[in-house]
Amino acid sequence: MAATKKKTAKKSAAKTAKAKSFIDQPINQQLSKEEKIDLYSMIVGIRRFEERSLRAYNQGKIGGFLHLYIGQEAVATGIVSLMEENDHIITAYRDHGHALAVGMSMNECMAEMYGKHTGCSKGKGGSMHFFAPDKNFWGGHGIVAGQTPLGAGLAFALKYKKIKGCAVCFLGDGAVNQGVFMETLNLVSLWDIPVVFVIENNGYSMGTSLKRSSAEENLAHRADGFDIAWEVCEGHDVFEVREVANRAMTRAREEHKPFLLEIRTYRYRGHSVADANHEKYRTKEEIEEYKRNKDPINVVRQQLMKDGTLTEDLAKQIDKEKKQEAEASTLFADESPVAPREEIQTDVYWEVDNDTEGKLKGTYFFNDV
Amino acid sequence: MPLITYREAIKQALAEEIERDENVVIMGEEVAQYNGAYKVTEGLWEKYGDDRLIDTPISEAAFSGLAIGASALGIRPVVELMFMSFSYVAIDQLFNNASFCRYMSGGLMNIPIVVRGPANGGTNVGATHSHTPENMIANHPGLKVVCPSNAYDAKGLMKTAIRDNDPVFVMENTLLYGEKWEVPEEEYTIELGVANILKEGTDVTIVSHGRCAIISLDAARVLEEKHGISAEVVDLRSIRPLDEETILKSVRKTNRAVLVEENKPFCGVDAQISHMIQYRAFDYLDAPIHRVSAIDAPQIYAKDLENWQLPNEERIIASVLKCVG
């Protein structure tokens, strides 16, 4: 992570020193043994899925871009674990972790990346565009910060319909410099919209460090300009993420107020797999240090070993199962068919897909036939 | 039938839909307390209140995107853009998210929003406020776009657009807001994708949309009276979906086509229609297809020159005479 000398960074470092106690906070204490194991399994599962995706990409099975979530797993896992029935989430293009965390299967995600008909979007969206509205997951969006007003809109709908819930909108540290995000911060504060913006600050917007892209490195401070409450926390400890995000989400649900949460995290891989030069803009030592001290799997494993939830054997078994699940998803994807060519022109218009009788007039598609 | 303005017709459509569906929400700059920059929403805020009429800051990208997100959870937002020219600062939201979320989710989402506002030149305001982007919108599969040329169509198409489950752009016209037409008091809607024949004729088909259709009709009357040419005028109403069959039927009858639109010519709506006619009615054509578009330059400020830059009666008549002669 980019070093920063400013005040709040110190405040945040002080919080890290207290990190040991996060698992003992009420929101985490109430977790059953099974629920703690589930958190661990999810973090491991995302890691193994991403590693297997990388291999598939390098084998030429996956096309396009592949933005891996390795290193950031505890963020999506922690926040999604706090979702209640009427909460919704939306994110950017580094979306595999969020998709798995809401309960999408490795099969449908891997098949989507393989461009297969069995993929979550029938092979029409690809890696950056996973969706599961039935699980309150609204994508998967490819343009930096493009999802931020949509997240506000989900929360607007909840408020309009007087439904108690919140929307959590994830974005990266690069997205804070897009105009639409700042416009959206103003709107949600002006209208008291129950949305929590979570900046997953991994220190780099593509290959440009925070220091080289943002005038104020403490990104959460931008909330002050819009009279929005904010907090900063570390993203490697799933229990810390849960503790801090719970405050933000509860406030949104209870008081219909927006919140800006900056979570400092790290990605082990390049911006995308195509970013093979990621060791040019950061040192090997920086990457190794994070892996050694703040690896989300190690951090949760050590804590769960210590409190007796997890044994070495169980950890090994979970790891093995997740590897197998990821492997199986590649077989599933490999064996799945590509959608038939007719599918190119479905899912464009609702009215066409649903063949609303007597309503469909005129030409919708314009190829010569 | 009462004579009402184009503006009043749209307001009636909005009010009726607000009353019909509790999820219909109007949002945009100046739409509520100020009564609308062009007074289209005049009186609605007073009648329906803050929940249904929402003033937004000048943040087209944010409130367009917010409307898209809200529509995913069942809200039916009608977004007013003070000018369709302002869609250009919200292009990622309107042209990526509104049009493609359904597709990229493999059909799991749909975006039932309406984006409405004036899209026209001829108002002496220069290049930044005079766009007619119906061609750009129609170039995005997933979006629909209609261009009502009169009050009756404006009301009927607006109501259909609000009930439609896909994103629909309604392109209005500031030069028509104050014009009056007959509009029935009883409820009606107009289907998308159905063109309207404004005048029947036998010698040439004039295809047009929006205010240009009205100018074409005036030109057709002059052609009839002064030149003895019987022109059929097809008002498209809807650009996407497009009523190709009505165009083709007319061209197969008249064997000639002149296409009139306010767009700039390059990749304009009429470029597509011209292609379609030659591809599907080649053997019926007795002359090349002619086009009358805005003169191909940024919109000029000077009023006299702008009036010449846009399609007008004189230019349409000249083009028809060339096509027929």
| pLDDT confidence of residue A8 | 41
Q: What is the mean pLDDT of residues A175-203?
A: 97
Q: Is the pLDDT of residue A78 over 50?
A: yes
| pLDDT confidence of residue A21 | 83
Q: What is the mean pLDDT of residues B91-107?
A: 97
Q: Is the pLDDT of residue B129 over 90?
A: yes
B191 touches chain A (CB under 8 A): yes
Contact A131 B109 (CB under 8 A): yes
pLDDT tens-digit map of B275-317: 999 999 999 999 999 999 999 999 999 999 999 999 999 999 9
Taking the C-alpha atoms of residue A85 and residue B148, their distance in angstroms, rounded to an integer, is: 43
Q: Buried b / exposed e across A227-238, counting CB within 10 Å, b at 16+?
A: ebbbbbbbbbbb
Residues of B with active-site annotation: 60, 129
Regarding the domain delimited by B196-324, which CATH topology (the fold level of the hierarchy) does it fall under?
Answer: Rossmann fold (3.40.50)
DSSP string, B228-283: ---EEEEE-SEEETB-HHHHHHHHHHHS-EEEE-SS-STT-HHHHHHHHHHHHHGG
pLDDT tens-digit map of A214-238: 999 999 999 999 999 999 999 999 9
| pLDDT confidence of residue A10 | 39
Whether the CB-CB separation of B48 and B35 falls below 8 Å is answered with no
Pick from A204-218, A310-324, A325-339, B275-289: least confident: A204-218
Whether the CB-CB separation of A276 and A299 falls below 8 Å is answered with no
Contact B62 A180 (CB under 8 A): yes
Containing H/E element for A334? Answer: helix A312-335
| Spans of all domains in chain A | 7-336
DSSP string, A99-118: HHHTT--HHHHHHHHTT-TT
Please state, rounded to an integer, the average pLDDT across all residues of chain B.
98
Q: Is the pLDDT of residue B127 over 80?
A: yes
Among B25, B61, B191, the residue with its CB nearest the CB of A183 is B61
pLDDT tens-digit map of A22-57: 999 999 999 999 999 999 999 999 999 999 999 999
pLDDT band at A3 (very low <50, low <70, confident <90, very high): very low
SS3 B298: coil
Q: What is the mean pLDDT of residues A99-119?
A: 98
The Cα of A43 is separated from the nearest Cα of chain B by a number of Å equal to: 25
Place of tokens 């989430």: A89
Q: Is the pLDDT of residue A133 over 80?
A: yes
Q: Is the pLDDT of residue A61 over 50?
A: yes
Contact list in A for residue B63 (CB cut-off 8 A) is 149, 187
Q: Which residue has the higher pLDDT, A19 or A166?
A: A166
Two structure tokens written together for B220: 């057709």
- Give the length of chain B: 325
The Cα of A365 is separated from the nearest Cα of chain B by a number of Å equal to: 8
Whether the CB-CB separation of B161 and B111 falls below 8 Å is answered with no
Q: Which residue has the higher pLDDT, B217 or A271?
A: B217
Contact A153 B65 (CB under 8 A): yes
Q: Is the pLDDT of residue A349 over 70?
A: yes
Q: What is the mean pLDDT of residues B3-15?
A: 98
In three-state form (DSSP H/G/I as H, E/B as E, the rest C), the secondary structure along A192-206 is CCCEEEEEEECCEEC
Domain ranges in chain B with CATH number 3.40.50.970: 3-182
Q: What is the mean pLDDT of residues A309-327?
A: 98
Q: Is the pLDDT of residue B116 over 70?
A: yes
Q: What single letter denotes the amino acid at residue B316?
A: I
In this complex, how many residue pairs, one in chain A and one in chain B, have their CB atoms less than 8 Å apart?
185
User: How far is residue A331 from each of residues A101, A337, A339, B242, B257, measured CA to CA in Å?
Assistant: 22, 12, 17, 44, 57
Q: What is the mean pLDDT of residues B10-37?
A: 97
Contact list in B for residue A154 (CB cut-off 8 A) is 69-70, 72-73
Q: What is the mean pLDDT of residues B243-260?
A: 98
Q: How many helices (H) does chain A have, and how many strands (E)?
A: 14, 8
Contact A350 B61 (CB under 8 A): no
**Percent of chain A's residues with pLDDT above 70:** 94
User: How far is residue B102 from each of residues A20, A50, B19, B96, B201, measured CA to CA in Å?
Assistant: 44, 26, 28, 11, 42
Q: What is the mean pLDDT of residues B122-132?
A: 95
pLDDT band at A358 (very low <50, low <70, confident <90, very high): low
Q: What is the mean pLDDT of residues B191-209?
A: 98
Domain ranges in chain B with CATH number 3.40.50.920: 196-324
Residue of B nearest to A133 (CA): B108
Contact list in A for residue B64 (CB cut-off 8 A) is 149
Residue of A nearest to B238 (CA): A362
The CATH homologous superfamily for domain A7-336 is Thiamin diphosphate (ThDP)-binding fold, Pyr/PP domains (3.40.50.970)
| pLDDT confidence of residue A360 | 85
CA triplet A348, A354, A359: central angle to 5 degrees?
Answer: 100
Contact A361 B57 (CB under 8 A): no
Q: Is the pLDDT of residue B212 over 90?
A: yes
Taking the C-alpha atoms of residue A145 and residue A172, their distance in angstroms, rounded to an integer, is: 8
The Cα of B190 is separated from the nearest Cα of chain A by a number of Å equal to: 10
B22 touches chain A (CB under 8 A): no
| pLDDT confidence of residue A20 | 54
The Cα of A184 is separated from the nearest Cα of chain B by a number of Å equal to: 5
- Scanning B61-120 for CB atoms below 8 A from A yields 61-75, 92-93, 96-97, 101-110, 112
Mutating which of B66, B87, B273 best tests the A interface, going by the most A Cβ atoms within 10 A? B66
B56 touches chain A (CB under 8 A): yes
| pLDDT confidence of residue A63 | 93
Mutating which of A95, A156, A166 best tests the B interface, going by the most B Cβ atoms within 10 A? A156
pLDDT tens-digit map of B33-86: 999 999 999 999 999 999 999 999 999 999 999 999 999 999 999 999 999 999
**Percent of chain B's residues with pLDDT above 70:** 100
pLDDT band at A19 (very low <50, low <70, confident <90, very high): very low
Chain centroid to Cα B281, Å, comes to 26
Contact list in A for residue B272 (CB cut-off 8 A) is 366
Pick from A351-355, B29-33, B40-44, B101-105: least confident: A351-355
| pLDDT confidence of residue A277 | 73
Q: Buried b / exposed e across B74-113, counting CB within 10 Å, b at 16+?
A: ebbbbbbbbbbbbbbbbebbbbbbbbbbbbbbbbbbbbbb
Residue of A nearest to B66 (CA): A153
User: How far is residue A232 from each of residues A187, A296, B139, measured CA to CA in Å?
Assistant: 22, 17, 43
B55 touches chain A (CB under 8 A): no
Q: ipTM score here?
A: 0.96
| pLDDT confidence of residue A14 | 44
Among B69, B103, B107, the residue with its CB nearest the CB of A152 is B69
Q: Is the pLDDT of residue A303 over 90?
A: yes
HSE-up (13 A, CA, CB side) for residue A364: 20
pLDDT band at A279 (very low <50, low <70, confident <90, very high): confident
**Percent of chain B's residues with pLDDT above 90:** 100
B235 touches chain A (CB under 8 A): no
Regarding the domain delimited by B3-182, which CATH topology (the fold level of the hierarchy) does it fall under?
Answer: Rossmann fold (3.40.50)
Contact list in A for residue B71 (CB cut-off 8 A) is 153, 157
